[in-house]
Amino acid sequence: MPPGPTGKTRADGAREKFLRGATAIQELIEPMVTGQPYPIKGLVVYGTNLLHTVPNVPRTKQALQKLDFVMAIDVLPQDHIAWADVVLPEATYLERYDELWACGHKTPYIALREPAIEPPGQAKPGWWMARELGMRLGLEDFFPFKTAEEYLNTRLSSLGLNLDKLREQEGIVIQKGKPYIADFETGDQPAFPTDSGKVELYSEALAHAGQPPLPVFTPPAEPPDGFFRLLYGRHPLHTFAKTQNTPILNELFSENEVWLNEDVAAKLGIQNGAYVRLENMDGVREGPVRVKVTQRIRPDAVYMVHGFGHNAPGMKRAHKKGASDAALQTHYALDPVSGGAGLRVNFVRLVKEV
């Protein structure tokens, strides 16, 4: 990647402010708002719902207002689509070829995902969009393949395979190999991607960078009186904030709940199944959301399934169902090594519905 206008490679601080790590997306919002260390004028949003992913939703909306151009590529009319200047409808996973799935597990394998049906209307696969945009920008050399099949066959040819052979094996080819497993019969030793080639409990690289070479426990802040730590997580039926509008999945799990300790619920006079609003330390409110009274959570915390609380009328099944944990995340803790955001540092109180 070429350096930016100020000579800095990354506006999000990765590999400069932070020792290593992938894109810290929440750290890209600030340059969009302030123009520092250099202005960001445009954004392409692909495969993610910004308003259910990035903490501090009002700041994200402010950043979107500052940009000159926003393009969104998605399969659904989700919340962030309304902020885009251009929307490109993508084919779903059942309507497109995807990149080969190469897994280096104990038994390595290569798997193929290919379209089962044609995409509806003007929907197109993401690879087609990228190629067409590249061709219009004069970047033909970067897109030598005209079709997804041609690209995949070229990749598979290095292994003596092609799409037809993959299909003959029902889309999966088992590979030989034992990653990270020592072969004790031959005396081979496992190798790891570290300087020593071994498992490292003490990191020389972190010590050299002035960071703790061994993990250091930092006690989390305690919730203020009347508040609970907001925890969130996944549900086995849903994928992030992408599947709440899917008919069958919505029918099976149509709205999230807020888990509340049974003893705490008794003290607060809140019944199982009652609806409440959640209000965080900054006065942001979400809901109404149904309470699940349970002993399977500690008394100083509440828990929600992530991905609900959509404010998108086009998603008729998911619109206004449940509450958004992302909207309540107005604070986050920043990891100085990777730039990753710790989001379970927000506190909420329960407000009974009148």
Q: Which of 83, 87, 82 is nearest to 72 (CA)?
A: 87
181 located within any domain: no
Output the CA torsion 264→270→271→277 (10° steps): -120
Residues 170, 238 within the same domain: no
Tell whether 3 is covered by a domain: no
DSSP strand E in the chain: where?
A: 42-46, 69-74, 86-89, 101-103, 109-111, 172-174, 228-233, 257-261, 275-280, 285-294, 301-305, 333-334, 341-342, 347-352
151 & 248 share domain: no
**Where does a domain end: 155, 174, 193?**
174
d(C-alpha 124, C-alpha 88), whole Å? 8
In the numeric block, which tokens belong to residue 156? Answer: 């598979």
Residues 133 and 233 in one domain: no
CATH number at residue 250: 2.40.40.20
Q: What domain range is 115 assigned to? A: 41-98+109-174
Residue 191: what pLDDT?
A: 74
144 domain residue, yes or no? yes
Q: Is 246 inside any structural domain?
A: yes
Burial 327-336, CB ≥16 within 10 A → b, else e: bbbbbbebee
Determine the pLDDT at residue 74: 96
Query: Do 267 and 348 fall within a single domain?
Result: yes
Radius of gyration of the chain (CA): 24
10-residue stretch averages of pLDDT, the chain, 354 residues long: 54 77 83 91 93 94 97 95 96 95 86 95 96 95 95 93 94 72 60 82 89 90 96 96 95 98 98 98 97 98 97 96 97 88 96 86
Please tell me whether residues 158 and 257 are part of one structural domain.
no
Position 168 in a domain:
yes
In degrees, rounded to 5, the angle at the alpha carbon of residue 237 between the alpha carbons of residues 289 and 93 is 120
pLDDT of residue 185: 59
Which letter, b or e, does each residue of 212-233 get, where b requires 16 or more Cβ atoms within 10 Å of its Cβ? eeeeeeeeeeebeeebbbbbbe
Clarify whether residues 47 and 169 are in a common domain: yes
For residues 68 and 131, membership in a common domain is answered with: yes
Q: What is the pTM of this model?
A: 0.87
* 305 exposure class (CB count in 10 Å sphere: 0-12, 13-18, 19+): buried
- What pLDDT does residue 264 have? 98
Residue 155 C-beta-side C-alpha neighbours within 13 Å: 17
Q: Is the dihedral of CA 204, 206, 211, 217 positive or negative?
A: negative
Whether residue 166 sits in one domain with residue 274? no
**Do 236 and 143 fall within a single domain?**
no
How many residues belong to the chain?
Answer: 354
**18 occurs within a structural domain:** no
Beta strands in 199-284 (DSSP E): 228-233, 257-261, 275-280
Q: Measured between alpha carbons, how far apart are the two ends of the chain, in Å?
A: 55
Question: In terms of domains, do 55 and 121 share one?
Answer: yes
Residue 268 in domain: yes
Residues 322 and 251 in one domain: yes
At residue 61, the pLDDT reads: 96
| 168/232 same-domain check | no
CATH number of the CATH domain containing 119: 3.40.50.740
Residue 35 falls inside a structural domain: no
Number of structural domains the chain divides into:
2
